[in-house]
Amino acid sequence: MAVQSVGVIGAGQMGNGIAHVFAVAGYDVLLTDISRDALDKAIALIDRNLERQVSRDKITPEVKATAMGHIRTTQTLADLGQCDLVIEAATERETVKQAIFEDLVPHLKPETILTSNTSSISITRLASRTDRPEKFMGFHFMNPVPVMQLVELIRGIATDEPTYKTLHAVVEKLGKTSATAEDFPAFIVNRILMPMINEAVYTLYEGVGSVSSIDSAMKLGTNHPMGPLELADFIGLDTCLAIMNVLHDGLADTKYRPCPLLTKYVEAGWLGRKTDRGFYDYRGETPVPTR
């Protein structure tokens, strides 16, 4: 089926980035969130990020103006019912996502494709709570969405071929590259990335190295653009912990046990950049390691 209208659920870090790239690609975007303030902040951020792309000659001022004209907002979830494609980008908690789909499904037209931007939760299980498991897929964008080129396409056990082909074509129209993953905990990217971050936290926890020495070692020793602890702060330590718990619960292997120090930071509310403290303290002019 042809996709022209796209509903995005959640106006946070991922949702506003997804709305941004779809609008630039010419899709009509309806962005929803329970918070009017979150929607207003998302629109302002999209405008700033598009302006940054204009200043770097990535897009023209005309493309920016057209893209902003493609985005509408609503606080009413049911308004997304007539969209061709819906992308859920809410908090990485399964109960929250299930509640959203249960509220939305009665308002959808029969041909609408449902997707989740989840980074780790079972697509098959989420799909089973809807009326269209054959038209349900994982549609996992990387953060920051306007910059990162990869989209993971994850089929549930019931996902049909037309749905997969439709989303594969959508990714191409966005100018991004897709990687197809099977529906196992954390898929491809986070199955590999999160245990590395968790091991970096263990390295800190056990006193093998400090925050700065661990990050410097990985940046200079393996040519990573960001150290693993700096990257964890960027992703959000609550998200990292949630994914590690999905891996640990889903695969029942002790190698995925979340580091107690990661749990302690999350319990303290030190979640990284979004709370101004994580493995680094961001409240001053330059980030300062917290250990």
> Pick the catalytic residue: 16, 116, 119, 122?
119
Our answer to whether residue 198 is catalytic in this structure is: no
Our answer to whether residue 190 is catalytic in this structure is: yes
Residue 253 pairs with which residues in a beta bridge?
A: none
> Pick the catalytic residue: 88, 140, 198, 230?
140
Our answer to whether residue 107 is catalytic in this structure is: no
Our answer to whether residue 119 is catalytic in this structure is: yes
Contact 155, 183 (CB under 8 A): yes
> Do the strands 85-88 and 113-116 form a parallel or antiparallel pair, or are they unpaired?
parallel
> Pick the catalytic residue: 116, 117, 178, 190?
190
Q: Is the dihedral of CA 16, 40, 112, 3 positive or negative?
A: negative
> Pick the catalytic residue: 152, 178, 198, 230?
152
Cα 21 to Cα 64: distance, rounded to the nearest angstrom: 11
Largest CA distance in the chain: 56
Q: Which residues are identified as catalytic?
A: 119, 140, 152, 190
